[in-house]
Structure 1
């Protein structure tokens, strides 16, 4: 029986070899004709004419497939279908190992590499900064950080990714394709819409693992967690900060650096916020409006101080005598009565004062900065200077409304003395 089997096998072998040879000839023939449709622009070959036509749309920048939700156009139908899954939040490609779902098959394939034995290998290295990546596509995306090839044709701002450029262009067009289906508010970015929708759902998916506090945005959680760590320390005084910009602001105290300069008067500031507030002096801009009396202010702190007039709120209380004040500055000045503190000292004569305004008035004695342009006489204080100028101009701004002829006087003290004539008031010697 074994002999027969061997004989049968020998009979079958020529037939088997002929089938294999025929398959090889057929595959070779197919390979020769596989790319018979060649692109005349880039030379790329295709097995079918329709594939060639679809490819040529890339060169012509033709995008016949348009999304009916946001009007974004694509050169291929499959790309449109992938894009529309983003609107529908459809994720048809699921990982068979951990069940994680993806909108695109390419994302699933990349994810599945995590489960392979070579997940830790990073064979693709950037030749500029030497950073390594597991996939060549990730390396290509990274390298755009160094080059930023996508440039806005309106303002010339450059981006490392095409999607970032698309997002940026909506600033110029004011396009807001992402609309909240609850309140109708529109947004430029899809991420902004998602963050907004958490207001309606009260969803706070980002939780602090130290105190359990939850946040609607990951950035807010990261900022919060720095409260516990304060990883940024000043190398001069070792003071620690939770945020980088706070450290940078603090370091300017040591360096006396003032990088924010007003382009109108060249005054420099250590903080950008201070510059913005200062510039409102030149523009007379007062964007902060009191909702009770419609008075406007250039600074938020000034508005808050003003609103205490309406509410009669006095949150700053002296811990010695219990007197309350609307402004913290008023409380500080008041407390110097109890402490007899005089922190403002004249650098010419050494005299000290409890308030900076009193020091400024005093320093005028030494300098006399107010000089009369007519007679060159100098004055320490502005109001005395103005009173002197009335001698030259013969200006008499204080007018008696009782006197028949409307008697006018150049000084307020003379005006007050004159009014006593009508009231028959006799000044009392103190």
Structure 2
């Protein structure tokens, strides 16, 4: 029996020490890869009993960890703690480049790719690459034609959640995006952005023939027909 603070049991591979023999033996599985604990439903194996028990809740539907604010329940304590940041506003994960803060490590890591330019997610159809898995999944609908988001009023379907929401405002009349210069309101942030160019003088759309620039894509395209002779 060890005294308080004493750690007589040493890992023979990394020299980490433990106060109990069982803890040392459990730690050794990091090195050996041993996974003695098996899920009774899907045969997935785990190195630690606690991890196996938490995994089992996926199958049983058990959610013992409850949010004390909104009563939402979770199968994992870590998921409950992560959810609590919705209520507390805590953002412990900071971008080392621009100091923007995030409530989740995964969100911070995803944001970091803006700075690094890393795009690890590749479309298997056209080889286009993306910085986020969600962007890849959204892009894949171009190839599959999937339109999972439906307008509840007219049943029109959309491949993107934001496009469905923007469309819904045709029915509701909602225009939540306001120009800060003239107070004109718009259904989507894209429409507001396009309108703002009237005030800023920005002209991002260039004629490839004569280099004349336009604030609106449609205006540039109409102008291009002067060169091509195309009739609308």
Q: CA deviation at 1:361?
A: 7.3
1:33-79: per-residue Cα shift (whole Å, max 9, x none)?
A: xxxxxxxxxxxxxxxxxxxxxxxxxxxxxxxxxxxxxxxxxxxxxxx
Q: CA deviation at 1:289?
A: 2.5
Q: How does 1:62-81 map to 2 (within 5 A)?
A: none
C-alpha change, 1:144 and 1:217, in structure 2 (3 Å) is: same
> Does the 8 Å contact 2:9/2:19 carry over to 1?
yes
1:383-407: per-residue Cα shift (whole Å, max 9, x none)?
A: x4xx8xxxxxxxxxxxxxxxxxxxx
2:156 pairs with 295, 306, 310, which one? 295
Q: Partner of 1:221 in structure 2?
A: 84
Give the alignment's TM-score, normalised by structure 2.
Answer: 0.73
CA distance in 2, matches of 1:254, 1:359: 32
Q: Partner of 1:244 in structure 2?
A: 105
> Does the 8 Å contact 2:67/2:80 carry over to 1?
no
1:75-100: per-residue Cα shift (whole Å, max 9, x none)?
A: xxxxxxxxxxxxxxxxxxxxxxxxxx
Q: Partner of 1:329 in structure 2?
A: 190
Q: CA deviation at 1:272?
A: 0.8
> Does the 8 Å contact 1:150/1:162 carry over to 2?
no
Q: CA deviation at 1:317?
A: 2.0
> Does the 8 Å contact 2:129/2:136 carry over to 1?
yes
CA distance in 2, matches of 1:321, 1:226: 33
1:270 aligns with 2:157: no
Q: Partner of 1:146 in structure 2?
A: 31
1:312-369: per-residue Cα shift (whole Å, max 9, x none)?
A: 111112233332211111111112223322134568854322135655777899xxxx
Q: How does 1:329-368 map to 2 (within 5 A)?
A: 329-345=190-206, 350-356=211-217
Give the alignment's TM-score, normalised by structure 1.
Answer: 0.43
1:115-145: per-residue Cα shift (whole Å, max 9, x none)?
A: xx93322333333444332212122222223
Q: 5+ unaligned residues in a row in structure 1: which ranges? A: 1-112, 177-186, 205-215, 366-378, 388-411, 413-430
1:227-276: per-residue Cα shift (whole Å, max 9, x none)?
A: 46x45332xx3434334333323332233221100122221111111001
CA distance in 2, matches of 1:200, 1:254: 37
Aligned length: 224
Secondary structure at 2:193 match in 1: helix
CA distance in 1, matches of 2:224, 2:162: 29
C-alpha change, 1:338 and 1:231, in structure 2 (3 Å) is: closer
1:159 pairs with 37, 46, 69, which one? 46
Q: CA deviation at 1:148?
A: 3.4
Determine which structure has greater relative contact order: mean sequence separation of CA pairs < 8 Å that are 6+ residues apart, divided by chain length: 2
Task: Name whichever structure is richer in helix by fraction.
Answer: 1
1:134 pairs with 19, 28, 33, which one? 19
CA distance in 2, matches of 1:148, 1:127: 15
C-alpha change, 1:125 and 1:259, in structure 2 (3 Å) is: same
CA RMSD of aligned residues (A): 4.1
- Stretch deviating more after TM superposition (248-257 or 324-333): 248-257
1:194 aligns with 2:64: yes
- Stretch deviating more after TM superposition (298-307 or 354-363): 354-363
CA distance in 1, matches of 2:130, 2:223: 27
Q: How does 1:5-404 map to 2 (within 5 A)?
A: 118-150=3-35, 158-162=45-49, 164-165=51-52, 168=55, 175-176=59-60, 187=61, 190=62, 193-195=63-65, 198=66, 217-221=80-84, 227=90, 230-234=92-96, 237-242=97-102, 243-345=104-206, 350-356=211-217, 384=230
CA distance in 2, matches of 1:343, 1:221: 43
Q: 5+ unaligned residues in a row in structure 2: which ranges? A: 73-78
C-alpha change, 1:163 and 1:304, in structure 2 (3 Å) is: same
